[in-house]
Amino acid sequence: MARASGGGGPAFFISVVAVCVLWATAAEARSPAARAHRHLKRLNKPAVKSIEFRPAYHPEDLYDEAKSSIGSSNAGEKPMLQLWHQNGRCPEGTVPIRRTKKDDLLRASSIRRYGRKRHNAPNPMSVDPNMLSEGGHQGDKYYGAKATINVWEPKIQQANEFSLSQLWILGGSFGEDLNSIEAGWQVSPDLYGDNNTRLFTYWTSDAYQATGCYNVLCSGFIQINSEIAMGASIFPISNYGGSQYDISILIWKDPKEGNWWMQFGKQYVLGYWPSFLFSYLADSASMIEWGGEVVNSEPDGTHTSTQMGSGHFPEEGFGKASYFKNIQVVDSSNQLSAPKGVGTFTEQSNCYNVQNGNNGEWGTYFYYGGPGKNGNCP
């Protein structure tokens, strides 16, 4: 509101001009382009020195790490890398952050929702009441999980769909109070703008409503590692009938500090989720899950051909179907052990399916995945 403080016309004119400029500036600041620019500046911060912080405790392993090490399943082949390593590495004491571009924000439904799952995102697969009532879940406490995950590049039919393979650390009633820590690999054109297979994490403390995000796109996960970037492309990936590659992910709760830590492969401790982010997970997890997930947008009421895993059904086996192996849980004594009472669940077995097993080399494992739309999956 303009207000004249003197009796002359010029003073009034100057005051009006000043207010007009201020209003124009405020309107400009509220524009989508300005909001996007501010958000990009927050996400793409300059390099800063990392905090030297390490977990006080590390779980004791059940299996020989040589059986589930990061990299190729074929001896003598090069280890798993991220594509950005071809252009150099981060200076010591800094952490790599994938640069967010303007186009990334424009693909999102809103700037506020960028980097978050949709509000109506499906809860983990175990919301099925039959799974919740199975033995080995109710009343148990878990303090982490581990898996070696076969890496593929599934085809995505619609840009707003994704395909991922991950582990879930879960707490809560699977309603609006669900706590979840998630990590694995995903292909998501909507989030990243391409079809590359990327390492990712996610967290939420209220069932994907208002808290949490992918990777480091909001406050939450604190990265300490200078070698591995969240959201960066994984290389190489497995080939159908050819070389197979996998990644090893371990997430565990530090019994001293209470934070949830993530390790990639044998040597890369990537960072942690502070305990204060969560309610239920501030104590422990009540369920652990491993598996694949796809979003089916159902254009024209039919299932899309978005693939899960390798895009092939589990019965095809090694080299053709995707797998998880050496899946383990961290117990109250900070020991890694084979999970008990493992059940399997799939929503549409004609589109995607799962088969589990156990042996001396792979421990508890399963093959999973499928092509999506096919003759039996309309």
Catalytic residue at 347?
Answer: no
Judge whether residue 138 has pLDDT over 70: no
| Annotated catalytic residue, options 153, 161, 289, 293 | 293
Average pLDDT over residues 350-372: 97
The two structure tokens encoding residue 211: 């808290």
Confidence band for 60, pLDDT divided at 50, 70 and 90: confident
Of residues 137 and 362, the one with the higher pLDDT is: 362
Q: Catalytic: 315?
A: no
Give tens-digit pLDDT for 199-213: 999 999 999 999 999
Cα 174 to Cα 124, 137, 319, distances in angstroms: 8, 13, 35
34 to 28, 192, 300: CA distances (angstroms): 7, 21, 37
What's the token pair of residue 72? 């190729």
- Helix, strand counts (H, E) of the chain: 5, 16
Mean pLDDT confidence for 90-99:
71
Pick 250 or 44 by higher pLDDT: 250
- Locate 203 and state its tokens: 């967290």
Tens of pLDDT along 269-324?
999 999 999 999 999 999 999 999 999 988 888 999 999 999 999 999 999 999 99
> How many C-beta atoms lie closer than 10 Å to residue 107's C-beta?
16
Confidence of residue 169 (pLDDT cuts 50, 70, 90): very high
Query: According to the model, what pLDDT value does residue 133 have?
Result: 43
| Mean pLDDT in residue range 189-196 | 93
Mean pLDDT lowest among 130-144, 290-304, 321-335: 130-144
Return the residue matching tokens 């999980």.
Answer: 145
Q: How far apart are CA 357 and CA 317, in angstroms?
A: 12
- The amino acid that residue 91 corresponds to is P
Paired tokens of 266:
């044998």
Instruction: Measure the CA–CA gap between 108 and 114, rounded to whole angstroms.
Output: 5
Catalytic residue of the set 182, 289, 298, 361: 182
- Residue 115, pLDDT > 80, answer no
Mean pLDDT value across the chain: 79
**Residue matched to tokens 């409503």:** 209
pLDDT value of position 116: 77
